[in-house]
Amino acid sequence: MARRSGPARPRQLSIVLAQWCPHCVPLSVRNGRRLARRLGVPLRLLDIDRRGENAEADRLVRKFGDASPDYLIPQVFLEWSDGRVDPLLTGFSEQVSRTARAWRDLLASDWLRAVRAGARP
């Protein structure tokens, strides 16, 4: 297999979510699409209640995210071309408007500007 050269680039945005969670649908799906578009990567939705998706959702959360016996959703991860995975956002346990504020802050962050400019913060 040929070894890739050059700096790592964002490869995929993943959101661990559930359809019944108001912090997830539609709020995080809509903002996740927006973020993925700005990063130029595909968006992957992992439903914790869907067989075939929940194992990968659990793996991401247990390995890179905020794991608890009954973990918080949504959890948002950015996967990089070199295999690194960065946790970006975990839903707030307070009202939905607080998670909405976190999305607004993430979309307006220095971090996003830096990644779009080719940096790897």
Site residues (CB under 8 A) for other proteins? Answer: 66-72, 87-95, 97-98, 102-103, 105-106, 108-112
The token pair at 39 is: 């990063």
Q: Quickly tell me which residue has 């297999």 as its tokens.
A: 1
Q: How far is the CB of 42 from other proteins (least distance, A)?
A: 20
Smallest separation (angstroms) from other proteins to the CB of 110: 6
Q: How far is the CB of 70 from other proteins (least distance, A)?
A: 5
Length of the chain: 121
CB atoms within 10 A of CB 95: 11
**Alpha helix positions (H), 40-73:** 54-64
Between 63 and 98, CB nearer to other proteins: 98
Q: How far apart are CA 47 and CA 92, in angstroms?
A: 18
Shortest Å distance, C-beta 11 to other proteins: 18
Q: Among residues 6 and 94, whose Cβ is nearest to other proteins?
A: 94
For other proteins, the closer CB: 10 or 87: 87
> Which DSSP letter does residue 79 get?
E
